[in-house]
Amino acid sequence: MSRGSIVDRVTAGLPDAVGGVPLDQFRVPVGLVLVVLLLRPVIADPRMAGYPQLANTILIWMLFAASFNLLLGYTGLLSFGHAMFFGIGAYAAAVGLTRFGLPWVAAAAAGLVLSAAAAYVVARLIVQKGEIYFAMLTLAFAQAVHYVANQDPAGLTGGTTGITGASPAWLVSERGTKFVHVAGVQFDWYALLAVVFVVAMLAIWQVVRSPFGRSLVAIRENATLARSMGMNVDRYKVWAFTFAGLFAALAGVLVEVNNQGATLQLLSLSVSGDVILMTILGGSVFFFGPLAGAFVWLFAEDFLTGFNTLVLPLTELPMARIGLSGVLTYWQFFLGLLFVIVVLLSPREGIWGLLRRAVARVVALLGGGEGQ
């Protein structure tokens, strides 16, 4: 209910349409372009992370979290195994490049197809199970995939070490920065990443705003009612799961290029857990929620782990230095604390909800000022 009122308050006083085209139509595309334009300068700022490469990772995880939110936020499905599709995408690309000598595009495409097919089959097998059983079965499948990759079948996956040095021919690395080198033109890897990110996010946006996506929302709201009103709830859920697996694999393919390989870590339970936490932290009821969650989570992680190496004014005081280095190595504690605070302040709407409320207040204040 607060969702509707916030939107009303935010959009009150703004023009509804320009030349007959509703402004609402451009909100998401414009927002996505702003994300990719602002992310790197903000991250590269010395007061933030200080090194721009973190922006690559954040962008990839934003896409991964958005793919997960197709399930949690839009369909109301909880999966504890989303890492399996991230990992399948990454491993397929790495295996294709190194073991079969495929061109990168073919290896990446194979990853997407394989992951979407796996998602479809897994969902078909478990979709009729109740919520918690469904979640547990996704976990079981993800662990099974992790086990297979760890066993290094036919020397394909590299076991515990994974696959290293699996880099596409067009990727050039210079002093820690990656460049794309195609047909004599060289540009930043981030630029390609940004384009793929925007296109993929627009595709996800189209899925959720399409008639199909609205059916998913109805199922999230009340699956019993949706069924009695004539929806084949299970089939909708299977296809939501398939699309989530497809976009997660795309994030996996990108992370493979970014890391120049695939490691077992990508298939781990902690990846599945992180994406859930990011999505909830950011606000699963909003399209931009998971993006905000991924940004805050990864930035906070980087910020907190880097804390004890930072030179603070406090280090001048011997007492404070001892205190800080003792406490701040528990960065996961602070990440957890952040999560708890956000969930208590804004249970369903997360950080993005807090931000929207803040913006709404500012708009209301400005609107009031104009009126006087």
Partner 1 sequence: MTDEPPAGVDPVATPTSDVEPDDLAAPDDDPEAAPTPDVAPEDAALATVGLTRSFGALVAVDGVDLAVPAGELRAVIGPNGAGKTTLFNLVTNAIPPTDGAVWLGGRDITALAEERRPHLGLARSFQANQLFNGLTALENVRIVAQTARSGPFGLHLLGRGRSVAVDEAVALLDRLGLAGKADVVASNLSHGDQRRLGIAMALATDPSVLLLDEPTSGMGPTETRETAELIEALQAELDLTMLLIEHDMSIVLSISDRITVLNQGSVLATGTPAEVREDERVQAAYLGGVREAL
As measured in angstroms, the least distance from the Cβ of 207 to partner 1 is 6
Residue 210 as a binder of partner 1 (CB under 8 A): the answer is yes
* 161-194 as b/e: b if 16+ CB within 10 A: ebbeebbbebbeeeeeebbbeeeeeeeebbebbb
Segment interacting with partner 1 (CB under 8 A) among 86-94, 166-174, 206-214, 351-359: 206-214
Interface with partner 1 includes 76 (CB under 8 A)? Answer: no
Q: Which residues pair with 180 in a beta bridge?
A: 171, 187
Q: What DSSP assignment string belongs to 319-346?
A: HHHHHHHHHHT-HHHHHHHHHHHHHHHS
Does residue 315 bind partner 1 (CB under 8 A)?
A: no
Span 113-172, contacts to partner 1 by CB under 8 A: none
**CB nearer partner 1, residue 166 or residue 216:** 216
Among 227, 327, 347, 361, the residue binding partner 1 under the rule CB under 8 A is 227
**What's the token pair of residue 353?**
């909800």
Distance CA 173, CA 186 (A): 11
Residues 238-277 that bind partner 1 (CB under 8 A): 239
Say how many residues touch partner 1, by CB under 8 A.
29
Is residue 231 near partner 1 by the rule CB under 8 A?
yes
Cβ–Cβ under 8 Å, residues 304 and 328: yes
- The set of residues, in sequence order, having a beta carbon less than 8 Å from that of 308 and lying 6+ positions away, is 324, 325, 328, 329
| 350 touches partner 1 (CB under 8 A) | no
Nearer to partner 1 among residue 3 and residue 361 (C-beta): 3
Cα-based distances in Å from 286 to 98, 157, 175: 39, 37, 38
Strands ordered across the beta sheet of 185-188: 171-174, 177-182, 185-188
Which residue number, 245 or 261, has a Cβ lying nearer to partner 1?
Answer: 245
Q: Which stretch binds partner 1 (CB under 8 A): 82-90, 138-146, 204-212, 263-271?
A: 204-212
Which is closer to partner 1, CB of 92 or CB of 248? Answer: 248
Name every residue whose Cβ is closer than 8 Å to that of residue 101 and which is 6 or more positions away in sequence.
none
Site stretch for partner 1 (CB under 8 A), options 143-151, 159-167, 219-227, 294-302: 219-227
CA distance 362 to 343: 23
CB 23, min distance to partner 1, A: 14
Residue 247 backbone phi and psi in degrees, to 5: -75, -30
The answer to the question of residue 217 lying near partner 1 (CB under 8 A) is yes
Contacting residue, 221, 320, 330, 333, with partner 1 by CB under 8 A: 221
Tell me whether residue 68 or residue 236 sits nearer to partner 1 (CB atom): 236
Q: Binding of partner 1 at residue 289 (CB under 8 A)?
A: no
Choice between 58 and 233, CB closer to partner 1: 233
Q: Residue 228, interface with partner 1 (CB under 8 A)?
A: yes
What the block records as the tokens of 296 is 């805050």
Which residues bind to partner 1, rule: CB under 8 A?
Answer: 1, 3-4, 206-207, 209-215, 217-218, 221-222, 224-233, 235-236, 239
